[in-house]
Amino acid sequence: RKQIVATSELLAAEPFDVIVTTSLRRARITADGINIYHEVPVVVDDRLIEIDAGLWEGRFLTDIQNEYPAEFDKWRNHPAEFAAPGGESMADVYERVGAAARDIISEYDGQTVLIVSHGCAIKNLMCYLHGYPLSRIEEIPLGTNTSVNVLTTDGRTADFLIENDAGHISNIV
């Protein structure tokens, strides 16, 4: 909650035309918290939702590492090759967030859009918007909760102005 307050205050003076988020509770709460200063439409697009971790959902990381050592190694060291047992592959996530990005760019052409999403989905979205193939996803750092990315796009290429900035939450415990 403190991170949301800090993020909403950081973005209070930024002009947004729309906020696009997922239906997951934490993302909606974050979007609504930021929107208190803007009062713009909030649109749900679940193509931006977090990776479906399948059998890993709700499990402790140490248990996953012990029970699925090969898959865990791919998750950590070769994410482009990762597929969650009973869930999605990283390629699935890359394709769906890429489709969402294309549609958002087309639908809101010339407007300022705030996207609130989730770690793995954002990493894939950043990879896609950099114009990288999924094989280069390891080059994209994973941002912290409420980190901020700012970019402009002409519909074909993206120019990143800020990536994974978390300075606004650096003093929050």
Half-sphere exposure in the Cβ direction for 88 (13 Å, CA):
17
Token pair of 32, please? 């609504």
Is there a contact between 158 and 151 (Cβ–Cβ < 8 Å)?
A: yes
State the Cα angle at 75 between 27 and 163, rounded to 5°. 50
List, for residues 123-169, the tens digit of each pLDDT value.
999 999 999 999 999 999 999 999 999 999 888 788 999 899 999 99
Q: What sign has the CA pseudo-torsion 89, 90, 94, 96?
A: positive
Q: What is the pLDDT of residue 155?
A: 81
* Whether the predicted pLDDT of 6 surpasses 90: yes
Token pair of 85, please? 């047992």
Average pLDDT over residues 94-121: 95
List, for residues 68-99, the tens digit of each pLDDT value.
999 999 999 999 999 999 999 999 999 999 99
d(CA 93, CA 134): 10
List, for residues 44-56, the tens digit of each pLDDT value.
999 999 999 999 9
